Amino acid sequence: MDKIYLNGLQFYGYHGALKEENTLGQTFIVDLVLELDLKAAGVNDNLKATVHYGHVYETVKTVVEGKQLKLIEAVAERVSDQVLQAFPLIQQLTIKVIKPNPPIPGHYESVAVEMTRGRESN
């Protein structure tokens, strides 16, 4: 299967289990790998045969900057669901949601979750 990569999408949201996260908010970074057949798009140079990256970005933004959730697992699940619903050419996607500055004791570069979802698993 062919792949489209959207790396390092940055958003500001209010997700987290701690009250401070819900009040102050923080940056979230999302990486996506979209799997679909890109042959027709490549041969015909036709945008309708692929996925518009800007529209995918806006779909992700709506979720990450939208309804407050406790877990980044829930953020990833909602983004996956919305992207698969909005873009029927995508057969499967892998999403990574990164929280660069987790408010937990210790020294961390980031924490993240990654999941793969497809049409068969919905």
Given the residues 3, 19, 39, 99, the one annotated as active site = 99
- 38, 41, 43 from 46: Cα distances, Å: 10, 5, 8
The helix (H) or strand (E) run that includes residue 18 is none
Nearest 5°: CA angle at 62, between 15 and 70?
A: 15
96 is catalytic: no
CA dihedral 112, 36, 89, 61 (to 10 degrees): 20
* Catalytic center residues: 99
